[in-house]
A and B are shown apart, each in its own frame.
Chain A
Amino acid sequence: MNEVLLRSLIPGVIAILVRRGADFAAAEDAVQDALVEALRAWPADGSANSPRSGGASGPAGSSGGGRPVRDPKGWLVTVAWRRFLDATRADAARRRREHLLDEEPASGAAPAVDDTLQLYFLCAHPSLTPSSAVALTLRAVGGLTTRQIARAYLVPEATMAQRISRAKRTVSGVRFDRPGDVATVLRVLYLVFNEGYSGDVDLAAEAIRLTRQLAAAIDHPEVAGLLALMLLHHARRAARTAPDGSLVPLAEQDRGRWDTASIAEGIGILQTALARDRLGEYQAQAAIAALHADAPTAGETDWVQIVEWYDELVRLNDSPVVRLNRAVAVGEADGPRAGLAALAAVDDACSAGSSAKGHRIPRYTAVAAYLHERDGDLATAARLYAEAARQAPNLAERDHLTRQAARLNARR
């Protein structure tokens, strides 16, 4: 049984059932039933991959034990649709069942791509909270089990099961009649990518797989931009942590450990997208990542061009986080004093809203520490590193920043 193949089939099957009139939650349940059936009935050698010519197998036989399945997707659609009808029969009146039976379309090749796309939009529906949208996407589009998703997010399985069933209830009345917002779908995929825990399921790799699928289904420069961005970030992943789990900053990373195939692919996708002249924030972020990935050494990084891309980003989406990152780039391109000046502007930009609550944007203090250190003010830098360590959102960053403070304090 080929689990990867099965996973890739799930969204298309759910989408076909929904298009035929099944409610999303009911369709999802029916497909899960069909998967259980497939695990039982399909040959263990995964011979769904090795079609036999001339055979009359396929959807007709739901008990094809030992025989290769010629059309796994068609098989799943047929079984899932029957499961759905059985469930409906148990619940609803005879008339409704006959109506549905009448409507059963002839089996045949279905335009899977558009259906799957609608599933993406449904899973990223604005009525869902981000965490629900992420869970539902991984389940319905990614085909992951509840257990796998729970482990990837480090929560108990029962918690994740509740989250998913709540999400399914939320979208159960939603119709597939109008196209959704691509930007929302992209945000959900980026959330998955940024989680990135690697265990039973590597969410970063899963996000790349799903975005690849989306990019194949929809011709949109920002989808390409996000895919390029993910590939370029992911390519540097192995070099980003030391064997003991501690952080390795960009400048100190062993560039020989970067995945050059992913970098080349990301840059290729990005260039094609940029050529269409419909710039968006993911393309701009990918361009910055590409400039980092392209530099043979940290010292040869083209910071001037990176600052230009940050200026584009500010124009597209002016946020304190973008301005903070821009300040780092300015510090490299024009020196630490210029960087500190750019940082002061960030402070002004967000002092109205966030500082009233006593919270600065994440990593503000760490950036300030870094720029003061480069400016030679080691005492201030050490104090700020220690402060940044206390604000750090995770252990790896906290330890890294504590070490920075310790390094400077030891030198003074």
Chain B
Amino acid sequence: MAKYLLLKHYRGAPAAVNDVPMDQWTPEEISAHMRYMQDFADRLEKTGEFVDGQALAPEGAWVRYDGEGRPPVTDGPFAETKDLIAGWMVIDVDGYDRAVELAGELSAAPGKGGKPIHEWLEVRPFLTAPPTVTE
């Protein structure tokens, strides 16, 4: 088994095919989208492939050490252009192919007009310790 991180981006990723801001959807379309994501997570929980999923607020800041005795530097509370992560899901699957398959499925969540949003997702493997000999 191998763990993968599925990352959803607010910005920075290429535009989705069905790229309409959520507040332009109908309430029913939003509900359908939420249900799809929940069903997806529920299903992975049943197959034992779900590890964790969290959503993140859109506002973040870059922070950097700025020398002895000085407060850390931040670029302020606003982040107009930088890439930001909207949320993640960690899955524990058989291998890369399954991770890509699931990311594709998640990307097909319905959006405006009930059609899939075709959102870009980033798939990143976790670094793990090498297996012991007895494994």
A residues whose Cβ falls under 8 Å from a Cβ of B: 244, 246, 357-359, 382, 385-386, 389-393, 395, 398-399, 402-403, 405-407, 409-410
Contact = CB atoms under 8 A, between A and B. Distances in A.
Given A244-B35, A406-B27, A407-B27, A395 B55 contact: yes
Interface in B20-60: 21-27, 29-31, 34-35, 38, 55, 57-59
B78 interface: yes
A399 B34 contact: yes
A391 B59 CA distance: 8
A406 B23 contact: yes
Nearest to A387: B23
A155 to B, nearest CB: 13
B32 to A, nearest CB: 11
CB-based closest 9 A-B pairs: A405-B23, A386-B23, A403-B27, A358-B77, A410-B26, A406-B25, A406-B27, A402-B22, A407-B27
Nearest to B58: A390
Contact of A389 (B23, B31, B76): B23
B51 to A, nearest CB: 14
Given A359-B77, A407-B26, 4 more contacts: A386-B21, A392-B57, A399-B34, A407-B27
B14 to A, nearest CB: 22
Contacts of B57: 390, 392-393
B11 to A, nearest CB: 13
Contact of B23 (A246, A357, A359, A409): A409
A392 B57 CA distance: 8
A381 to B, nearest CB: 11
A409 B78 contact: no
Contacts of A402: 22-23, 30
Contact of A403 (B30, B58, B59, B78): B30
Nearest to A403: B27
Given A244-B34, A244-B35, A358-B78, A406 B24 contact: yes
Nearest to B21: A386
29 contacts: A244-B31, A244-B34, A244-B38, A246-B34, A358-B77, A359-B77, A390-B57, A390-B58, A390-B59, A391-B59, A392-B57, A395-B55, A398-B55, A399-B30, A402-B22, A402-B23, A402-B30, A403-B27, A403-B31, A406-B23, A406-B24, A406-B25, A406-B26, A406-B27, A406-B29, A406-B30, A407-B26, A407-B27, A410-B26
B77 A385 contact: no
A359 B78 CA distance: 10
A52 B95 CA distance: 63
Contact of A357 (B22, B34, B35, B77): B77
Contacts of B55: 395, 398
Nearest to B76: A358
Contacts of A406: 22-27, 29-30
A403 to B, nearest CB: 5
A329 B9 CA distance: 38
A408 to B, nearest CB: 9
Contacts of A391: 59
Nearest to A402: B22
Which of B23, B31, B57 is the most central at the interface, judged by chain A CB atoms within 10 Å of its CB?
B23
A398 to B, nearest CB: 8
Interface string B69-105: 0000000111000000000000000000000000000
Contacts of A398: 55
Contacts of B78: 358
Contacts of A405: 23
A246 B30 CA distance: 11
Contacts of B58: 390
Nearest to B24: A409
Nearest to B77: A358
Contacts of B59: 390-391
A378 to B, nearest CB: 13
Nearest to B55: A395
A402 B21 CA distance: 10
A386 B30 CA distance: 13
Contacts of B34: 244, 246, 399
A406 B58 CA distance: 19
Contacts of A393: 57
Contacts of B30: 399, 402-403, 406
